[in-house]
Structure 1
Amino acid sequence: MPLKRLSLLWGLVLLTSVSACDGEEANREERMVNLSEVKDDEDAQLKNLNAAIEQSRRDGSLYARRAVVLLRKGELEKALSDANEAVNLTKNEPSTLFVKAQVLRALNRQEEALPLALQAERNSYQSSSLYVLLGELYLQRKEYKQAKVYLDKAQKLSPTDAYAFYYKGRVQEATGDTARAVRNYKLALEQLPDFMQPQRELAGILVNRGDYDAARPYLNAAQKLDAKDARLWYYKGLLYQATQKQDSAMLSFNRAVALNDTLYGAHYRLGMAAYLQGRTDTALVHLEKVYPKYEQEVKYLSTLAGAYERTGRNIKALQTYQQLVEVEPRYTYGYQAISRLKYKLTRPMPDSTAVRREMLEQ
């Protein structure tokens, strides 16, 4: 997994969040490893943790700490292995459950991460990072009310938590309150000026509003931080398209889908442009990918049906025009196209034998 996908998670992970095991054994390992002296050097952390684990294989806190370091390095499968061992050894100690939940979230196994994070909370683990994680997981499930509950809890513990501001903005944007979302994204940036995601979201909102001059600084700043973020290239394409720079827009949309092939908006615009340019096969490549998103949009269905008809796929064209008039019964051209295609599909085929006989007689 690319490290950029872990950037938000790194802000949530703190080595100090993993509590040591009880008793003198844990204290002895802390003095021996002295992790605090190397906390900014991941390789040094791993070296010391590896040595500590060799000497104390039953200390779950050491596995949890190593899982966090591996998570930061993007070595997710190794991190999960250590997180599992930590949970087993500490008998579901809440901080280790939290570590495992973070690793599962990084692996895009959110449905497994959520119950672990909730169990950590039930086991009396209080942390703004845990509440932010829960807020994000509920946001991904589109359970916005519950997401806000946890983000409010995070802000009670840590009123200046940039990640809480950011995810609260995401919730507000998803529920249509873009004015408050903008405010929270800006508050997140006040705490962390180099936080890319709020800059990206601000750029997207401002581009969609048509406020291109205001969007440019956020877009440029975000791309300096992450030039491989697909949505940034998509927003850049929208900005170019709005300012009549069609070639630059298409280059940006192509870059966006090269980075993320599921970016529907970019595929849609590439498909529409290719159709207008007469590049029908290319248009279909893009248009067919976005059908689930745009299947109720008249312009999309009309273009898709036209592309099928141009390429001789008359049955697909007929089916698409029939769907089009179901979506928009007043679309007159759709009925004309249906009649034309039905005639093409039902007219009798010439007798090839008769044609050959006539040619021989001549």
Structure 2
Amino acid sequence: MPVKRILYLWGLVVLLLASACAGEEANRERMVNLSEVKDDEEAQLKNLDAAILQSKRDGSLYARRAVVLLRKGELEKALDDANNAVRLTKNEPYTLFVKAQVLRALNRQEEALPLALQAERNSYQSSSLYVLLGELYLQRNDYKQAKLYLDKAQDLSPKDAYAFYYRGRVQEATGDTARAVRNYKLALEQQPNFMQPHRELVGILVNRGEYAAALPYLKAAEKLDPEEGRLWYYKGLLYQGEQRQDSALYSFNKAVALNDTLSGAHYRLGMAAYTQGNNSLALEHLEKVYRKYKREPKYLSTIAGAYERNGQYIKALQTYQDLVDVEPRYTYGYQAISRLKYKLTRPVPDSIAVYRTNIEQ
């Protein structure tokens, strides 16, 4: 059986790619950095296209082509091939694994997880499968299961950079940032051009106020992926910590342009716009992050103020009521509620009567 390569290329840069080898190594894979892959992908596709024309019932050929397409980022085509591979191989575990990777790349994690678990039940053992399962459980905030699978990955491959990285993610999510930093650095020892550990180290160090220590990781990550939204967000936090407000706002705007789901960047842009008196822009950003910040008094006070300044009195009243529910000691909230109730219930002058009075006079 020919040796196949395995690749991870999660998000924009890293997605998991895998293959099986012969003999003792049949269920072991080697991580390969995308930038180090020398194979001509177009030549691979051309050869696989020809092979599939000759043998349309060979599911392993579809699985191999799905891996190449996944590496190229042609995800819908990769999914078509993965579906054919699963159908023709009758749920052979490696093809289930390939399909799970494609679904994960398509952000269809809920579909990817059962397939990856089925591959495991069907006796597919590989560090890459266990890393995939660890990452999928991490996304579900099931940190215990995520750690279990990452432990399995490192049992098979003790120097697996991705296992170190996701172990760090689990530790960071559970508040153990000291161990997270250690695992991110271990990941970089194995694979210096792995952007995500650089990025996560920037985030942790900036949050600690260790701006000088964060800078080398920031520069390294920028070289690897200058269009990574969360990295621009962390860069904005660094500038904000250094009191470079214009640079911070530029970075936050760049961050949301690249990734509109970055709630922290929207929050800071909204707060800055409110301070500058741009209430419409403030609301544009603050309304996007209501679910995340709806229990924070400062956020509620600011968005309520923006609604009131913008003449949206009913929304302002509702938000001030939310504010005093969250923080009953917020006296300004009660004053704002009284003020808005008066504005909303005061009698409207009879303009016709006023007009007639003026005429009579």
Task: Look up the match of 1:210.
Answer: 209
Equivalents in 1 of 2:56, 2:166: separation in Å? 38
Task: Look up the match of 1:141.
Answer: 140
Q: Secondary structure at the match of 1:180?
A: helix
Please tell me whether the aligned partners of residues 39 and 45 of structure 1 are also in contact (alpha carbons under 8 angstroms).
no
1:197 to 2:196 alignment: yes
> Aligned pair count?
339
Deviations 1:202-254 (A, max 9, x none): 00000001111001111111011111111000000011111111000000000
User: After TM superposition, what 4+ stretches of structure 1 lie above 3 angstroms from structure 2?
Assistant: none
1:101-112 equivalence runs, <5 A:
101-112=100-111
Task: Look up the match of 1:31.
Answer: none
Structure 1 residue 8: Cα displacement: 2.3
Equivalents in 1 of 2:191, 2:332: separation in Å? 54
Task: Look up the match of 1:13.
Answer: 17
1:242 to 2:246 alignment: no
1:90 to 2:94 alignment: no
Task: Look up the match of 1:74.
Answer: 73
Structure 1 residue 6: Cα displacement: 4.9
The one-letter amino acid of 2:128's match is S
Deviations 1:263-296 (A, max 9, x none): 1100100010111111111111111111111111
Task: Look up the match of 1:264.
Answer: 263
The one-letter amino acid of 1:162's match is A
Structure 1 residue 4: Cα displacement: 7.2
Please tell me whether the aligned partners of residues 10 and 105 of structure 2 are also in contact (alpha carbons under 8 angstroms).
no
1:272-351 equivalence runs, <5 A:
272-351=271-350
Task: Look up the match of 1:150.
Answer: 149
Please tell me whether the aligned partners of residues 160 and 187 of structure 2 are also in contact (alpha carbons under 8 angstroms).
yes
Please tell me whether the aligned partners of residues 18 and 61 of structure 1 are also in contact (alpha carbons under 8 angstroms).
no
Change (3 A) 1:191 1:117: same
CA-based RMSD of the aligned residues comes to 1.4
1:163-202 equivalence runs, <5 A:
163-202=162-201
Equivalents in 1 of 2:283, 2:57: separation in Å? 58
Task: Look up the match of 2:3.
Answer: none
Equivalents in 2 of 1:6, 1:240: separation in Å? 25
Instruction: Give the fraction of aligned pairs with identical amino acids, expressed as a percent.
Output: 81
Deviates more, 1:252-261 or 1:352-361: 352-361
Please tell me whether the aligned partners of residues 168 and 184 of structure 2 are also in contact (alpha carbons under 8 angstroms).
yes
The one-letter amino acid of 1:330's match is R
Equivalents in 1 of 2:298, 2:198: separation in Å? 32
The one-letter amino acid of 2:292's match is K
Structure 1 residue 7: Cα displacement: 2.6
Please tell me whether the aligned partners of residues 18 and 96 of structure 1 are also in contact (alpha carbons under 8 angstroms).
no
Task: Specify every segment of 5 or more residues in structure 1 that has no aligned partner in the other structure, as ranges.
Answer: 20-37
Structure 1 residue 359: Cα displacement: 2.4
Please tell me whether the aligned partners of residues 18 and 64 of structure 1 are also in contact (alpha carbons under 8 angstroms).
no
Change (3 A) 1:6 1:268: closer
Change (3 A) 1:6 1:243: closer
Deviations 1:82-112 (A, max 9, x none): 1111111111111111101101110111111
Equivalents in 1 of 2:107, 2:130: separation in Å? 18
Please tell me whether the aligned partners of residues 134 and 148 of structure 2 are also in contact (alpha carbons under 8 angstroms).
yes
Equivalents in 2 of 1:140, 1:166: separation in Å? 14
Deviations 1:282-337 (A, max 9, x none): 11111111111111111111111111111111111111111111111111111111
TM (norm. structure 1) is 0.91
Task: Look up the match of 1:25.
Answer: none
Please tell me whether the aligned partners of residues 6 and 72 of structure 1 are also in contact (alpha carbons under 8 angstroms).
no
Structure 1 residue 360: Cα displacement: 1.8
Task: Look up the match of 1:56.
Answer: 55
